[in-house]
């Protein structure tokens, strides 16, 4: 059995930021969100490098293990970020998150670093399939903070690792998708503002992926949208 994605991408700078440092791609086999690190130079350039490096996988997947291919392409993007930063001292520290999902034959490959999230909506239940690389998530994992308090913690956006040209730990997962699965990848501009319960409710009432993504962004804007917001909604279909 082989699968494909019917995907929709919506991105907005939000109501506070002057520019949009998010980059994203939504194709028939690949969806990816890269969120340039705010407060550091050239965040939008770092996120563009990642998406540009990965988007070719949507049209042509090289032979070999897809997980290894994903790792290789993300490593290449990380190297490019380092090279670009080396060319201009003003770009020192530039970096980005990266959350990518790749359909290859009958498997879904997820690669993640940073705090852009990946979700799966299946059988009317929403599951977060990535773990935030944040200081607050470390507190939650250590039992020092519950998830409700984490949503309002003043350091909830403090990212512990990202693609910045140096060392990083890439988290990967392989699973078997099902026709009817709905995949969501988003920047923290969405997930920091809209609760998982609200995301699930929107997914349940909007069968069209474009309408669903538009609604999620509109809700974020209505709630104040202090950051760039990007969301991809992709439905798994049989081919």
Q: What's the pLDDT tens digit per position in 157-188? A: 788 999 999 999 999 999 999 999 999 999 99
Residue 43 clears pLDDT 70, i.e. is over it: yes
Whole-model pTM over 0.75 = yes
**CATH homologous superfamily, domain 3-130+162-238:** PPM-type phosphatase domain (3.60.40.10)
Residue 121 clears pLDDT 80, i.e. is over it: yes
Residue 39 clears pLDDT 70, i.e. is over it: no
- For 205-219, what is the mean pLDDT? 98
Residue 33 clears pLDDT 90, i.e. is over it: yes
- For 26-45, what is the mean pLDDT? 91
- For 197-216, what is the mean pLDDT? 98
The whole-number pLDDT of residue 114 equals 97
Q: By percentage, how much of the chain surpasses pLDDT 90? A: 80
The whole-number pLDDT of residue 40 equals 67
Distance CA 68, CA 18 (A): 37
Give the residue extent of every domain in the chain.
3-130+162-238
Average pLDDT, the chain: 93
Of the two residues 149 and 93, the one the predictor is more confident about is 93
What letter would DSSP give residue 37?
P
Confidence tier at 38 by pLDDT (50, 70, 90)? confident
- For 105-125, what is the mean pLDDT? 96
Confidence tier at 41 by pLDDT (50, 70, 90)? confident
Q: Which long-range contacts (CB under 8 A, 24 or more apart) does 55-64 make?
A: 55/25, 55/27, 55/30, 57/29, 57/30, 57/102, 58/25, 58/27, 58/28, 58/29, 58/30, 59/27, 61/29, 61/102, 61/104
């Amino acid at each position: 059995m082989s699968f494909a994605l019917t995907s929709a991408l919506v991105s907005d700078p939000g109501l506070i930021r002057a520019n949009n440092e998010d980059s994203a791609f939504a194709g028939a086999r690949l969806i990816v969100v890269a969120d340039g690190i705010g407060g550091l130079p050239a965040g939008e350039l770092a996120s563009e490098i990642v998406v540009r490096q990965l988007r070719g996988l949507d049209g042509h997947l090289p032979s070999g293990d897809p997980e290894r291919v994903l790792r290789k392409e993300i490593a290449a993007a990380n190297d490019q970020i380092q090279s670009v930063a080396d060319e201009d001292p003003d770009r020192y520290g530039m970096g980005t998150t990266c959350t990518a999902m790749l359909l290859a034959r009958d498997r879904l490959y997820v690669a993640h670093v940073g705090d852009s999230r990946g979700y799966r909506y299946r059988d009317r239940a929403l599951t977060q399939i990535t773990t935030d690389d944040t200081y607050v998530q470390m507190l939650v994992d250590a039992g020092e903070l519950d998830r409700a308090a984490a949503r309002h913690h003043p350091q909830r956006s403090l990212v512990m690792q990202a693609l910045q040209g140096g060392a990083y730990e890439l988290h990967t997962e392989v699973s078997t998708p099902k026709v009817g699965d709905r995949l969501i990848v988003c920047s923290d501009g969405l997930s920091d503002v809209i609760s998982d319960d609200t995301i699930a409710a929107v997914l349940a009432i909007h069968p069209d992926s474009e309408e669903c993504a538009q609604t999620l962004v509109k809700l974020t804007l209505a709630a104040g949208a202090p950051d760039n917001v990007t969301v991809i909604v992709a439905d798994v279909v049989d081919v």
